[in-house]
Structure 1
Amino acid sequence: MLSKKITYTIGKIPNTEAIINVYNSSGIIRPTDDKARIRKMYDNSNLVIAAWNGFELVGISRAITDYCYSCYLSDLAIKKEFQKEGIGKELINRTRNEIGNNTTLILLAAPGAIDYYPKVGFSKIENGYMIKREI
């Protein structure tokens, strides 16, 4: 249960430890044992939206976008105890508001979130390809 009204910030990168805490709680798999890599992920993203319960970071979205044609939503993570409260949906809505209606929002879903994204307006695509990272 939420103890406070959730607030959101756009463009402010939270403390790396707080981001790692959200990732570890959320179930999303990221290299949280490599603090420098997590920091670099955020330093090189150009749309970061954070959800706060008071001073506690409870959710985060991270995207790379040109703000006019395409946007890759790299991360969407909500602390376990704050999931199913609409925070993820709100982070997606705020991302969409920032990028505008002429920009396609694209993501790769974590296996545990495959069923979530159609519920919040995403359509499955069949024409994507990737070269996986080595680590």
Structure 2
Amino acid sequence: MLIQYSTNLDLLEKLNIEGFFVGWPSPPSSTVFRKLLEGSYKAVLAFEDHKLVGFVNSISDGVLSAYIPLLEVLPTHHNKGIGKELIKRIQKELEHLYMVDLLCDQELISYYEKLGMMKAQGACMRNYDRQSGN
């Protein structure tokens, strides 16, 4: 089956969006997942038939800056270039902005560097009891 990509979030009504947030102790429900995508500044979906297989989203002020909080590809679809294509497409959606930031685990930095991003330092706060979005 051919992987298709779209920024049209109306497709979420027709797609099976189950199977994401693997390994999260308190993953968001499908309702919360749909809400976070719909509330994004920009998002790109990767789907195969009627199944969402990957996504990336961004939040932004729409003027100078954006942040990419989530890039996920279903484990069954890893190593097929889907994550790379999602990042390429969200970068295109955000190219009018001055800065696009992303925080990731240390072992993923080289992945993002290969996609045109540069290593930077940052800080974050996590409220793991709020991880499900409820």
Same fold flag (TM > 0.5): yes
Structure 1 residues 11 and 45 mapped into 2: Cα distance closer, same or farther (>3 Å)?
A: same
Structure 1 residues 31 and 9 mapped into 2: Cα distance closer, same or farther (>3 Å)?
A: farther
Q: 1:39: Cα distance to partner?
A: 3.5
What fraction of aligned residue pairs are identical, expressed as a percent? Answer: 27
CA contact (8 A) 2:4 2:46 kept: yes
Measured in 2, the distance between the counterparts of 1:61 and 1:12 equals 12
2:98 is the alignment partner of 1:100: no
Which of 85, 88, 107 in structure 2 is aligned with 1:90?
85
Which residue matches 2:48? Answer: 53
Alignment: residue pair count: 128
CA contact (8 A) 1:59 1:88 kept: yes
CA contact (8 A) 2:88 2:115 kept: no
Measured in 2, the distance between the counterparts of 1:111 and 1:36 equals 30
Structure 1 residues 33 and 106 mapped into 2: Cα distance closer, same or farther (>3 Å)?
A: closer
Alignment gaps of 5+ in structure 2: 130-134
Task: Note the alpha carbon deviations across 1:23-65, whole angstroms, 9 max, x for none.
Answer: 33xx5x3742544433432232121210011222111111112
Measured in 2, the distance between the counterparts of 1:32 and 1:20 equals 11
Which residue matches 2:21? Answer: 23
TM-score, normalisation: structure 2:
0.76
How large is the RMSD of aligned CA atoms in angstroms? 2.7
Alignment gaps of 5+ in structure 1: none
Q: 1:121: Cα distance to partner?
A: 2.0
Which residue matches 1:11? Answer: 8
Which residue matches 1:132? Answer: 126
Which residue matches 2:132? Answer: none
List structure 1 runs of 4+ shifted beyond 3 angstroms: 17-20, 33-37, 110-115
Q: 1:76: Cα distance to partner?
A: 0.4
Measured in 2, the distance between the counterparts of 1:71 and 1:134 equals 23
Q: 1:133: Cα distance to partner?
A: 2.2
Q: 1:75: Cα distance to partner?
A: 0.7
